[in-house]
Structure 1
Amino acid sequence: MSLRFSLMGPVRAWRDDEEIDLGPRQQRAVLAALLLNNGVRLSNDQIIGMVWDDPTPSAVMALRTYMYKIRKALPELNLKSKDSGYTVRAEIIDDCRGEPLEGLNSTYFEAQRVRLAQHRLKAREDWLERELDVLELQKHVALFPLRERPRALLMHALFREGRQAEALDQYHQARALLNEELGVEPGPDLRKVHAQILKGDLHVPRRPEQLPPDLPDFTGRTQEVAQALRALPNTVGITGMNGSGKTSLATRIAHLVRHSYPDGQIFVRGKDVANELLRAVGVENPVGDKAALWREKARGKRFLIVVDDVQEPAQLAHLHSPGSAMILTSVRRWNELPGVTWLKLSGLTQAEAHQFFRKVLDPARADAEPEAAEEVLSRMSYLPNPIRVLGGKLTSRPHWTVAMLLAQMERETRLGSAVPSDCRSVLAPMVRAEEQLTDEERHLLMCFARRESDVIDVCEAAEMSGVEAGAIEYVLESLADVHLIEPVVLGRYRLPRFVRVYFGWRAPVLTS
């Protein structure tokens, strides 16, 4: 379940797509004070000083009342008093609705209104710099005629379109206006663009925009998103079994923070990460030390880099550059990489899985058979990728019920190799995982899948698989590293249901 807030215009909040009633003005002011200090602990006295310019003794009781009501309306915030203070960690968006903090009046909010307006203005100009759209730049320059940065960008955009005379005219307009209104000459950046146009050597820097599109039906992962936002710009790693949605989560996080990295966003999937980074900034066929060349190119810039499906940690050696951020995805957690905040993904929560199923399937069909839907989702261990495939399959069969899908899944499991292609796509994450296994690991999983119990210990694993007791723990830990079994306590492991479904189906094929 996704919780989002906006401070642009009235203070607003949404749970997924449904807006939440935040109560009266002063209650929203208390919430706004917390959101403006996202991740920072505020004492009661600090909050009161932000919300009320001349607080009376009753402000203490009013604050307690508002906190109680905010907790009831927004239990996901886990807003508990600790050491007479409160901390909020939340996702805050800019939905460009109007004046920041609309309707909230205090000295503190007036100052924050100015700060947020400046932040919005900079974000808008960062976007204009990325797009270099002449029409949008002309509108912005008309609104802010004395700001030199958008004027220089407009000159840049006009020159790029072959409109050199118009670009030079923009400089002369700006110079006349600055002289008349402020009595100053254009600044160095505007003069530099003017000189480059006169010489004909104005070049548009290459700015990569490689992020995959964010998924409109992305569901859940609220805690993981919040943890990643706290960790960035330090490196964030996302690990989990195939099908757990690592790439989707990395993409969602990247889209949330991409405006903080104005020099571009780079998406890499491959073995030669340094080479792909250099290609993204226009360096083709680099020679020599590629990592050193990348650090040189990235010096003083702010790039956001997503490296998907890391296979070897050596791929990332010496690529860090101050100011830039990196998000990694990998089935394995590479503990040898320094300074990485790792997030571990498993399935969605039960509620999130049902919510996601309703998004990929008609909600009425999903809600009509709650028990059958729960059984289907449970068999998939609530993993988003298999759920998406099954929801799509049902969508393509409008006369099927969820119970029919469940019956087919049971029949196809018994038929073994007769599983049709659409069912194989559900099992694709497990197929990819199996390709990386040793014979011992594969055999152990097939033995485990045939047991009734979901949990085994080291001794039971050695007995049922025939692997020597001295080697079985290594095999178990190797499987845990790629999330095909889950460590419970030392020496005990649990088998996820989706893994059981797959290797229970594979066992008769491979052992017959």
Structure 2
Amino acid sequence: MGPVRAWREDEEIDLGPRQQRAVLAALLLNNGLRLSNDQLIGMVWDDPTPSAVMALRTYMYKIRKNLPGLDLKSKDGGYTVRAEIVDDCRGEPLEGLNSTYFEAQRVRLGQHRLKSREDWLERELDVLELQKHVQAYPLRERPRALLMHALYREGRQAEALDQFHQARALLNEELGLEPGPELRKIHAQILKGDLHLARKPEQLPPDVADFTGREREIAQALGILPGTVGITGMHGSGKTALATRIAHLAKHRFPDGQIFVRSADMANELLRAVGVENPTGDKAALWREKARGKRFLIVLDDVQDVAAISDLHTPGSAMILTSVRQRNELPGVIWLKIAGLTEAESREFFRKVLDPARIDAEADQAEEVLVRMSRLPNPVRVLGGKLTARPGWTIAMLLTQMERETRLGDAIPSDCRSVLAPLIKADKQLTDEERHLLTCFAKQNAEVINVSEAAEMSGNEIGTIEPVLEALADVHLIEPLVLGRYRVPRFVQMYFGLRTLSLTS
């Protein structure tokens, strides 16, 4: 924050005389806080005269006139500004503004800027940038220690040790002091050869080249980070692919690394990612200690145990969770629910996994394939790959095969098993009551069902069937429409219809 200036597009706005700019600066420095007239006057004028009140009102009028888009509100004899403030590190903070208040703020902002710069230097450990910083601030011990670390990392042990001796001589000469504990510790570690280099994890899976759609969900997630984002949806809906896409788009905001975990012991895997092998004791507490002050982007895929992740969040780092069930008991998580792609997105995606000419030749049949798969990305991908591997097949032939009676279980063809894999996995996690209800829906070819109809089909009482319906909705095998009314996705109907055929064969 150098001189207080403003632009509208490429044209600089005249902010008026120094005292008017000082009023604006005082408001911005207290962004979001209400300042009374007396507080503002005390910040801008060291020795205010009675005319200061009138001057303040005049300045407020002119600030509003010059900056009509500024969120400036007046209430109860005070003023509040809400704005996004960015320090571009150009010039002296609050240059040209003189009062006791601004002198104190100048010192505070200068220290904040210096710390931010050194935080960046710690993440990057760039030798040349560290050398420039140490030359500019030779008595600061933290950047000197970082320079020793960076030199040692490059195999320049002698130069790293020489930095310690230079700092020691300078501190003795200028301040009559010995180096502090940080410099002494890194000096001793270099001498012993046990200076462990920080590991920067970069574990994200490759982004999916043919990823399609989900623009709204991606925009929402990017706006939530560095908060915690949860992605929920049925098996096969593309939760992991979406989490990976979001992580790749946001990773530049998290310079300490990206960690991808799919494990029952997530705290253990997070610690391994930062170089802690075979941790013991309270792993979550140890992870929080290791992550303190860092900015990691963490993807926790297929969360099964809420207790395993509830204590892992640290300020500054971001988490993206995926889970079939929406884990509402986790605090601070904003959940995004996904299902099949939109009609336009699914058509675009199908054209990426299958020759568009073949799709154009059988447009109606291609649309039927998408409908039967409930436009879920994973099954659509498998079928597109199957047709690509069979250049002599038409899409109509594929539909004919899909309509044949198929015995489930070990006899199911491998390519068909791949298509149905999401529901085979979901089926294994169902109770007998849940499975029976879905089978009833498939027998009746029911697309939309209410509680009364579900009770009649299954032979159960309404009071006992409603919890079963809600349990199926929790894992996205049926979709809640309004209270007591649900939609059965076509893909789910098809699977449980095949399952019924296999059981009666």
TM-score above 0.5, yes or no: yes
> 1:146-184 CA deviation, whole Å, 9 max, x = no partner?
466999989756644545457779x79x99xxxxxxxxx
Contact residue 406 and residue 501 of structure 2 kept, 8 A = no
Alignment of 1:459 onto 2:455: no
The equivalent position to 1:323 in structure 2, one of 303, 313, 316, is: 316
The equivalent position to 2:441 in structure 1, one of 440, 448, 469, is: 448
Q: Which has the larger radius of gyration?
A: 2
Alignment of 1:388 onto 2:381: yes
> 1:457-509 CA deviation, whole Å, 9 max, x = no partner?
11110111112322100100000000000011111111001101111110122
Contact residue 407 and residue 501 of structure 2 kept, 8 A = no
Counterpart of 2:325, as a letter, is R
Query: 1:510–1:113: structure 2 CA closer, same or farther, 3 Å change rule?
Result: farther
Query: 1:313–1:416: structure 2 CA closer, same or farther, 3 Å change rule?
Result: closer
Counterpart of 2:9, as a letter, is M
Query: 1:145–1:401: structure 2 CA closer, same or farther, 3 Å change rule?
Result: farther
User: Partners in 1 of 2:262 and 2:425 — Cα distance?
Assistant: 16
Contact residue 159 and residue 197 of structure 1 kept, 8 A = no
What corresponds to 1:210 in structure 2? 203
Task: For residue 424 of structure 1, report the CA deviation from its aligned partner.
Answer: 0.8
Alignment of 1:471 onto 2:464: yes
> 1:3-46 CA deviation, whole Å, 9 max, x = no partner?
xxxxxxxxxxxxxxxxxxxxxxxxxxxxxxxxxxxxxxxxxxxx
Query: 1:422–1:221: structure 2 CA closer, same or farther, 3 Å change rule?
Result: same
What corresponds to 1:50 in structure 2? 9
Task: For residue 204 of structure 1, report the CA deviation from its aligned partner.
Answer: 1.0
Counterpart of 2:501, as a letter, is P
Query: 1:289–1:154: structure 2 CA closer, same or farther, 3 Å change rule?
Result: closer
Contact residue 271 and residue 277 of structure 2 kept, 8 A = yes
Task: For residue 405 of structure 1, report the CA deviation from its aligned partner.
Answer: 1.9
Instruction: Identify unmatched segments of 5+ residues in structure 1.
Output: 1-46, 56-83, 87-110, 116-121, 176-187
The equivalent position to 1:252 in structure 2, one of 245, 248, 253, is: 245
The equivalent position to 2:413 in structure 1, one of 400, 415, 420, is: 420
Task: For residue 230 of structure 1, report the CA deviation from its aligned partner.
Answer: 1.1
Task: For residue 367 of structure 1, report the CA deviation from its aligned partner.
Answer: 2.9
User: Partners in 2 of 1:453 and 1:150 — Cα distance?
Assistant: 68
Task: For residue 252 of structure 1, report the CA deviation from its aligned partner.
Answer: 1.0
Alignment of 1:355 onto 2:348: yes
User: Partners in 2 of 1:128 and 1:357 — Cα distance?
Assistant: 46
Counterpart of 1:437, as a letter, is L
> 1:273-310 CA deviation, whole Å, 9 max, x = no partner?
22222222222232222222222222222222111111
Contact residue 267 and residue 307 of structure 1 kept, 8 A = yes
Alignment of 1:289 onto 2:282: yes
The equivalent position to 1:409 in structure 2, one of 402, 411, 429, is: 402
What corresponds to 2:177 in structure 1? none
Counterpart of 2:254, as a letter, is Y
Contact residue 298 and residue 321 of structure 1 kept, 8 A = yes
Query: 1:364–1:147: structure 2 CA closer, same or farther, 3 Å change rule?
Result: farther
Contact residue 149 and residue 186 of structure 2 kept, 8 A = no
User: Partners in 2 of 1:392 and 1:154 — Cα distance?
Assistant: 53
Alignment of 1:236 onto 2:233: no
User: Partners in 2 of 1:334 and 1:266 — Cα distance?
Assistant: 21
User: Partners in 2 of 1:128 and 1:282 — Cα distance?
Assistant: 17
Query: 1:151–1:212: structure 2 CA closer, same or farther, 3 Å change rule?
Result: farther
Query: 1:354–1:272: structure 2 CA closer, same or farther, 3 Å change rule?
Result: same
Map 1:170-209; keep pairs closer than 5 Å.
195=187, 199=191, 200-209=193-202
> 1:228-248 CA deviation, whole Å, 9 max, x = no partner?
111111111000000000011
User: Partners in 2 of 1:211 and 1:50 — Cα distance?
Assistant: 38
3-state SS, counterpart of residue 366 of structure 2 = helix
Query: 1:166–1:358: structure 2 CA closer, same or farther, 3 Å change rule?
Result: farther
Counterpart of 2:341, as a letter, is L
Contact residue 152 and residue 193 of structure 1 kept, 8 A = no
Counterpart of 2:440, as a letter, is C
Alignment of 1:398 onto 2:391: yes
Counterpart of 2:339, as a letter, is S
Task: For residue 113 of structure 1, report the CA deviation from its aligned partner.
Answer: 12
User: Partners in 1 of 2:316 and 2:447 — Cα distance?
Assistant: 46
Task: For residue 195 of structure 1, report the CA deviation from its aligned partner.
Answer: 4.9
Task: For residue 398 of structure 1, report the CA deviation from its aligned partner.
Answer: 2.3
Query: 1:268–1:414: structure 2 CA closer, same or farther, 3 Å change rule?
Result: closer
Query: 1:287–1:381: structure 2 CA closer, same or farther, 3 Å change rule?
Result: same
Moved more, 302-311 or 399-408: 399-408
User: Partners in 2 of 1:198 and 1:454 — Cα distance?
Assistant: 70
Task: For residue 127 of structure 1, report the CA deviation from its aligned partner.
Answer: 11
User: Partners in 1 of 2:315 and 2:374 — Cα distance?
Assistant: 39
Contact residue 149 and residue 160 of structure 2 kept, 8 A = yes
What corresponds to 2:326 in structure 1? 333
Map 1:119-198; keep pairs closer than 5 Å.
141=128, 146=132, 159-160=152-153, 162-164=155-157, 195=187
Query: 1:127–1:495: structure 2 CA closer, same or farther, 3 Å change rule?
Result: farther
Normalising to structure 1: TM-score of the pair?
0.66
Query: 1:53–1:477: structure 2 CA closer, same or farther, 3 Å change rule?
Result: same
3-state SS, counterpart of residue 427 of structure 1 = helix
What corresponds to 1:371 in structure 2? 364
The equivalent position to 1:264 in structure 2, one of 234, 257, 268, is: 257
Contact residue 270 and residue 287 of structure 2 kept, 8 A = yes
Contact residue 307 and residue 328 of structure 1 kept, 8 A = yes
Instruction: Identify unmatched segments of 5+ residues in structure 2.
Output: 1-5, 15-67, 71-86, 92-115, 135-141, 168-179
Q: Aligned Cα RMSD in Å? A: 3.9
User: Partners in 2 of 1:388 and 1:153 — Cα distance?
Assistant: 49
> 1:407-466 CA deviation, whole Å, 9 max, x = no partner?
22223x456666411011000000000000011110110110122331111111011111
User: Partners in 2 of 1:287 and 1:194 — Cα distance?
Assistant: 26
Aligned residues with identical type, % of pairs: 66
User: Partners in 2 of 1:440 and 1:372 — Cα distance?
Assistant: 35
User: Partners in 2 of 1:395 and 1:210 — Cα distance?
Assistant: 31
User: Partners in 2 of 1:151 and 1:455 — Cα distance?
Assistant: 69
Counterpart of 2:335, as a letter, is W
Normalising to structure 2: TM-score of the pair?
0.67
User: Partners in 1 of 2:277 and 2:190 — Cα distance?
Assistant: 30
User: Partners in 1 of 2:259 and 2:362 — Cα distance?
Assistant: 43
Counterpart of 1:333, as a letter, is Q
> 1:82-117 CA deviation, whole Å, 9 max, x = no partner?
xx989xxxxxxxxxxxxxxxxxxxxxxxx98989xx
Query: 1:151–1:424: structure 2 CA closer, same or farther, 3 Å change rule?
Result: farther
3-state SS, counterpart of residue 310 of structure 1 = coil
State the aligned residue count.
390
Query: 1:283–1:405: structure 2 CA closer, same or farther, 3 Å change rule?
Result: same
3-state SS, counterpart of residue 476 of structure 1 = helix
User: Partners in 1 of 2:188 and 2:355 — Cα distance?
Assistant: 57
Moved more, 366-375 or 469-478: 366-375
